[in-house]
Amino acid sequence: MLTQWTPTLTTPSFTPVMPAAQRFMQFRYPLPYGALLQDGGVQFVVYSRSATAMRVLLYKRVTDREPYRVVEFNRTTDRWGDIWSLHVPDVEAGALYHYQADGPYAPERGHRFNPNARLIDPYARALAGQFQTSEDGIIRPPKCVVVDETFDWQGDRHLRRPLSESVIYEMHVRGFTRGPSSEVEHPGTYQGVIEKIPYLQSLGVTAVELMPIHEFPTNGVFGSKLDRPNYWGYDSLAFFSPHRGYQHGNEPGGQVRQFKEMVRALHAAGIEVILDVVFNHTAEGNHLGPTLSFKGLENRVYYMLNGDGTYKNYSGCGNTVNGNHPICREMIFHCLRHWVYNYHIDGFRFDLASILSRNRNGELVPNPPMVELIAEDPMLADTKIIAEAWDAAGAFQVGNFADKRWAEWNGHYRDDIRRFWRGDQGMIGPMATRLSGSSDLYQSSGRHPYHSINFITSHDGYPLNDLVSYEHKHNQANGEDNRDGENNNNSANYGVEGPTRRKHIVELRRRQAKNMMASLLLSEGTPMIVAGDEVLRTQRGNNNAYCQDNATSWFDWNLVEKNSEMLRFTQAIIDFRKAQPNVRRPSFLTGQAASEGQIPDVSWYGPEGQGVNWSSQQKSLVCVLGTAGLDDPSARYIMLMLHAGGDSQDFTIPAAVRRLPWRLFVDTAAEAPNDVYPGVNGPAVPAGGRVKLVHHSVRCYVA
């Protein structure tokens, strides 16, 4: 018999729906490994396929040499396949720990387990304390910290600025404010960067690219005979943790909050944060290096090994991360998501990224899984990804790096701009190609001008001032008998090696610095400036200052006033670039006009105002940028006159554009303040359309 169903009527309750942006900001990416706060304790989760036993060591203080508690994983109940997972009650945020793993020690088969080694959790969210050495000589790494990722972002969100509108500023967190001239309250720290944000805003950059902030040892290179400081930080120890050396105070895990505060403050100022990440090797070095983490958990999975168990060394640093092994690939993938969602990072620059294109045998392969995974991950869809598209074993993939979503550090741009301004023969063609976005490298693969990260200098090499002051490297202070560092720098000293008081040399060097800065900021593509070039910082001829944690590398804030002329020059051109779509086009120039009789999007001329003989040894070039293809009323005509010759040169305005109302914007040969007119209100082109450029100079006119 069927009974009639009578619905029960109740008053519905409504839960307010949180706005999507707010939900996004409160979201914390749940990592599957590491020390996870849950159920009144901590869930410790770590991967190891070959371990026969696993322990977590708990400490009360960062200085403790011995744990107060050791908890053994049960091989039956606490192991799921190759994942060891153990819940320890009554452990809170701030707790300190290591892992210990038993297993085979058979280096010839790739195993390096050491039951006495204390190991960093590969997914550790923070480290605390210093290295210690046990009585039997085993190096003990800093302790891992259980971290509560909760943070008040105050509504902060990713800025999502298009790469085509970006001006990148490469900087070192410590070096930016470590010197006494910075006059900040907390020099050399994340807080120090916050204190200098007004300077970054006044300069006009849109993103800072931070040299490595992943945890790294600062006391030398393991597996090396050199006992030199690791200043740059290209020796990662814990990929998920911000470097404790840049925090102020000694609170275990305090760097997590302070780093987030820095990101939040930079975003509030309209400045994005890009991290330089080093997924190609670790600080554990080669067979001579210590067992600190990966070696003691699953050496033959985390590293590329030869058949005899020795380390492949495509990084030049002793080992190579096995980036296309599924476990390593998963770790890198989790790490990137962690930084994007838990730290609001806007982009990544991948050091020696060609290593990510190598399979487990070390061979370069098409469509490498790791590279494609990063490019296609929906959670990284709005994240900038930039490749240093080479490695230390000869791979050079600039223009050919696997996936078309990737931007690249354009090493060809660096070399060609340097050689043109040095006055090398046969450089007008390469110069024109680089100014117009490097279509030879990026167009056929479906990429755009902004995928070319244009730079003339970076942390790796001379700063701009030294590029025009030294013909030879001077790296003796590095302790390697001047053998380290690049020998072929395409640099010049113009008569004297290093500092000089000779007025004509000083003036020429300053002009050449302005020539290159103007070329960089007026090129199609995405410009990157290294911190200090805008005030002519020097490293005294050292082109490999990886170990110079001193005035050689630190930003000298006295130069802001001393070289205010160069700073003003740089600021003005950055401001112009940000306002002018004609130097940041999303598509490549064609040389075509929008309609018959109009000015093409780009035209090239010799100094006499006629067409260019590209096979000549000429050292002068005129570039006229039209507005064809730009649907923007703010777009203006731009005419660049570039003269790298050693004598003065007459230039004639091309007849096709002579009637335009040209006004001078830049003249690198003029004394300040007439070297740049921020409002583009400089003198008009003289009657007759002829101007004279002194040797090694740039003029830019705008109509």
pLDDT of residue 135: 84
**Residue of 575, 535, 514, 526 lying closest to 413 (CA atoms):** 526
- The tally of CA atoms less than 13 A away on the side-chain side of residue 541 is 17
Is residue 596 over pLDDT 90? no
pLDDT band of 224, cuts 50, 70, 90: low
Reading phi first (left if > 0) and then psi (alpha if -120 to 50, else beta), residue 296 is in: alpha
Tokens standing for 482? 């001047």
Q: Classify domain 26-145 by CATH number.
A: 2.60.40.10
In the numeric block, which tokens belong to residue 132?
A: 């210690």
| Token pair of 252 as six digits | 């275990």
Tokens of 403: 């996936």
Residues 158/166, Cβ–Cβ less than 8 Å: no
CB 350 within 8 A of CB 339: no
Strand partners, 378: none
Map 22-88 to HEC letters: HHHHHCCCCCCCEEEEECCEEEEEEECCCCCEEEEEEECCCCCCCCCEEEECCCCCCEECCEEEEEE
Look at the alpha carbons of 83, 89, 94, 96 in this order and tell me if their dihedral is positive or negative.
Answer: negative
According to DSSP, the residues that pair with 529 across neighbouring strands are 169
What is the mean pLDDT of the segment spanning 46-52?
98
Check residue 4 and give its pLDDT: 43
pLDDT at residue 638 in the model: 98
Residue type, 606: G
CATH 3.40.640.10 correct for 163-515+529-574: no
pLDDT in tens, 551-581: 999 999 999 999 999 999 999 999 999 999 9
Query: Average of pLDDT values for 142-163?
Result: 97
Predicted confidence (pLDDT) at residue 8 exceeds the cutoff of 50: no
| C-alpha–C-alpha distance, residues 557 and 537, integer Å | 9
Average pLDDT over residues 511-528: 99
Q: With pLDDT > 90 as the criterion, what percentage of the chain qualifies?
A: 90
The string of DSSP codes covering 601-630 is: SEEEE-TTSS---TTS---EEEEEE--TT-
Coil, helix or strand at residue 143: strand
Q: Is the pLDDT of residue 504 over 60?
A: yes
Average pLDDT (20-24) is 34
Confidence (pLDDT) at 12: 36
The CA distance from 420 to 643, in Å, is 9
Split at pLDDT 50, 70, 90, the class of 19 is very low
pLDDT surpasses 80 at 225: no
Here the contacts of 472-477 (C-beta below 8 Å, separation 24 or greater) are: 472/497, 472/541, 473/541, 473/542, 473/543, 473/544, 474/498, 474/540, 474/541, 474/542, 475/541, 475/542, 475/543, 475/544, 477/542, 477/548, 477/552
- 703, HSE (Cβ side, Cα atoms, 13 Å): 17
For position 21, what pLDDT does the model report? 35
- Look at residue 30 in the predicted model and tell me its pLDDT: 62
Question: CA-CA distance, 664 to 7, in Å (whole number)?
Answer: 81
β-bridge mates for residue 36, sequence order: 43
Residues paired with residue 603 on neighbouring β-strands, in sequence order: 624
Percentage of the chain beyond pLDDT 70 is: 95
pLDDT band, residue 691 (cuts 50/70/90): very high
**Residue 494 CA from chain centroid, whole number:** 31
Average model confidence (pLDDT) across the chain: 94
pLDDT tens string 354-390: 999 999 899 999 999 999 999 999 999 999 999 999 9
Dihedral angle, C-alpha 485, 490, 495, 500, nearest 10 °: -50
pLDDT for the residue numbered 514: 99
pLDDT at 1: 39
Picking from 22-31, 193-202, 315-324, 353-362, which range would have the lowest pLDDT averaged per residue?
A: 22-31
CA distance 144 to 242: 12
pLDDT of residue 251: 96
Where is average pLDDT lowest: 452-461, 472-481, 586-595? 586-595
Q: What does pTM read for this prediction? A: 0.94
Judge residue 82's burial from the number of C-beta atoms within 10 Å of its C-beta, 0-12 exposed, 13-18 middle, 19 or more buried.
middle
> What's the pLDDT score for residue 579?
97
Residue with tokens 């690939």: 329
Q: In what order do the strands lie in the sheet with 697-702?
A: 602-605, 620-625, 638-643, 697-702, 663-667
State residue 36's pLDDT score.
95
Banded model confidence at residue 408, pLDDT cuts 50, 70, 90: very high
Q: Which residues are catalytic?
A: 351, 388
pLDDT value of residue 221: 52
Q: For 162-174, how does the pLDDT look when each residue is reduced to its tens digit (9 = 90+)?
A: 999 999 999 999 9
**Three state DSSP letters for 514-550:** HHHHHHHHCCCCEEEEECCHHHCCCCCCCCCCCCCCC
Look at residue 220 in the predicted model and tell me its pLDDT.
Answer: 64
pLDDT exceeds cutoff 60 at 215: yes
pLDDT band at 595 (very low <50, low <70, confident <90, very high): confident
Sign of the alpha-carbon dihedral angle for 28, 32, 34, 36: positive
When pLDDT is cut at 50, 70 and 90, the band that residue 133 belongs to is confident
Token pair for 632: 């923007």
Phi, psi for residue 514 in degrees, rounded to 5: -65, -40
* Position 65, amino acid: R
Q: Cα angle vertex 695, ends 691, 700, to 5°? A: 50
Residue 480: predicted pLDDT: 94
Residue 457's closest CA among 543, 387, 355, 378? 543
Would you say residue 2 has pLDDT above 50? no
So where are the chain's domains?
Answer: 26-145, 163-515+529-574
In the beta sheet, which residues pair with residue 664? 701
